[in-house]
Structure 1
Amino acid sequence: MEWENVDAVLLDLDGVLTPTAEVHMRAWATLFTGVLEDLPEGDGDDVDTSPYTDEDYFEHVDGRPRYEGVAAFLGSRGIELPHGTPDDAPDAATVCGLGNRKNVLFNELLDAEGIEPYPGSVALLDHLQDRGTAVAVVTSSRNGPHVLDTSGLAERFEVVVDGTVAAEQGLAGKPEPDTYRYAAERLGTDPSRCAVVEDAVSGVQSGAAGSFGVVVGVDRGVGADALRSAGADVVVTDLAELLPREQQDAWRDRIPARP
């Protein structure tokens, strides 16, 4: 990375700073497996009840706001439910109800197991702090503050744009660039001087659509080719790869091999 051209770094949270993407995946899998199993027999010839897979997560859910992820998956299986409202109970048979149920499952897992940030991500944050580079978290999740508190990262970020902030400000979610542009505005930095760091295809697309200085894709499982096709300028498997070369020696054996 040519950090001389970057004044601010805008980072996704789940899968970039913390391994909570895996926790989200488990919560989604529990939710949608139950939804498919509970469908009544003969619910329609166009309804696909084949088992939920990680491919469903990466194609329909990863990086999207929660209710949009629910709607996208249900639509892919031909399942029709009323949208409902964000106030729906977690057991409501609506898009919002299912989204709220997933949130309950996620927080139960997070509270039970806790979460530690990726060491390489912490190393990069330390480097950016040393050079005076501004940082912000931009996440579609409404659980951003909870994850930051649990992982011990909360004090590192004065600007956090999460799903709640996006709703309050009327910002379109990823893959639109609005949330990242809002973070840049909050930091007082021109987008052309910002780096966007994302592990989801929809997040990389949002960075590419916003005319940011550089878009970094972090391959935590979606695939380097998919991230490049979505608009990533650089693809890494660990944020330690973005450290200055002389600092990478200490991390070389800890960075996963890139496919």
Structure 2
Amino acid sequence: MTDLGLPDTILACLFDLDGVVTRTAVVHAAAWKELFDAFLHERDGDGFRPFTEADYDQYVDGLPRADGVRSFLASRGIALPEGGPGDRPGARTVHGLGNRKNELLLERIRTDGVEAHDSTLRYIAAVRARGLRTAIVSSSANCRDVLRSIGAEDLFDARIDGVDAAERGLPGKPAPDTFLAAARELGVEPSRAAVFEDALAGMDAGRAGGFGYVVGVDRAGRADALYAHGADRVVSDLGELGRET
């Protein structure tokens, strides 16, 4: 399948949402920064150390909300009670901060809308035209609404998102469980499926799951890191796939 840039053994393609299908990764990063900067300022005062782009890449990107909260706070030596999914947004618990982040994200999406990467949508259409099955795999609990907002829900034969992961007790990326669940829903072995991800945690998940091909989508100039975390090929845009390398 040289026209798709994939090995001939691949029967299905599993796509991350944020940063691969949609341009929402930057919105997520901004919401995380607003959350953590406010939390750290209240905790440490005017001399607080802000949340950075490097923090986002290393501790948060691609992880479920609660895992992202735990990961970043641990990097600063901060421990909070777990709380529960019903915690008030902003409560000083892991889930409270996670819920506040989701509020901030939804506010930004309502204000600015959601944009798709049109080249990704064209690539998915080409994949489906060749008879390959497709799935969306996202840690976001808002995945379905985002897909509907860009008119892309029908491009996928299966969806595994943050809601499904919670209901099934699936650990998030870098564990491969959500991608493995998507492959099962499509009826293909992991070795016959390709993973498309922009997050380092997603690369780790693709490699850990034994998937047949892992494509890193480099939106942030970190191709070397994507390769180091298991990518078979890195592109800045899915429109590059199928071109001579």
TM-score range, shorter chain: over 0.9
Runs of at least 4 residues of structure 1 off by over 6 A?
none
What is the aligned partner in structure 1 of residue 187 from structure 2? 188
Aligned to 2:39: 35
- Answer yes or no: is the 8 Å Cα contact 1:64–1:174 preserved in 2: yes
Q: Which residue is 1:251 aligned to?
A: none
Name 1:112's counterpart in structure 2: 111
Residues 58 and 222, structure 1, Cα contact 8 Å, conserved in 2: no
Paired position in structure 1 for 2:28: 24
Q: Does 1:131 align with 2:140?
A: no
Give how far 1:87 is off.
0.7
Map residues 148-227 of structure 1 onto 2, 5 A cutoff: 148-221=147-220, 223-227=222-226
- 1:2, distance to aligned residue in structure 2 (A): 3.1
Contact 1:10 1:137 in 2 (8 A): yes
| Displacement after TM superposition at 1:176 (Å) | 0.8
CA-to-partner distance for each residue in 1:135-155, whole Å, 9 max, x for gaps?
Answer: 000011111112111122112
SS in 1 for 2:8: helix
Partner of 1:6: 10
- What residue number does 1:235 align with? 234
Once the two structures are superposed, residues 168-202 of structure 1 have per-residue CA deviations (whole angstroms, 9 ceiling, x without a partner) of: 11111110111101100000011111000000000
Runs of 5+ unmatched residues, structure 2? none
Question: Deviation of residue 222 (structure 1)?
Answer: 5.7
1:55 alignment partner in structure 2:
54
User: C-alpha distance in 2, partners of 1:91/1:11?
Assistant: 31
Q: Which runs of 5+ in 1 are unaligned?
A: 43-47, 247-259
**What displacement does 1:95 show?**
0.8
1:120 Cα shift? 1.1
* Partners of 1:140 and 1:15 in 2: CA distance: 12
CA contact (8 A) 1:11 1:138 kept: yes
**Letter in structure 1 aligned against 2:171:** A
Aligned counterparts of 2:243 and 2:186: Cα–Cα separation in 1: 27
Query: Corresponding residue for 1:250?
Result: none
One-letter code of the match for 2:209?
G
TM-score normalized by the length of structure 2 = 0.94
Specify the SS of the correspondent of 2:51: coil
- Residue type matched to 2:37 in 1? T
Q: Separation in 1 of the partners of 2:42 and 2:33?
A: 14
Shift of 1:40: 4.8
**Cα contact 1:82–1:94 (8 A) shared by 2:** yes
SS of 2:136's equivalent? strand
CA contact (8 A) 1:28 1:102 kept: yes
Distance in 2, matches of 1:74 and 1:224, equals 27
2:14 is paired with a residue whose SS is strand
User: How far has the Cα of 1:217 moved from its partner?
Assistant: 0.5
Residues 125 and 155, structure 2, Cα contact 8 Å, conserved in 1: no
Give, in whole Å, the separation in 2 of the partners of 1:172 and 1:141: 13
Match of 1:70 in 2: 69
Q: How many residues align?
A: 240
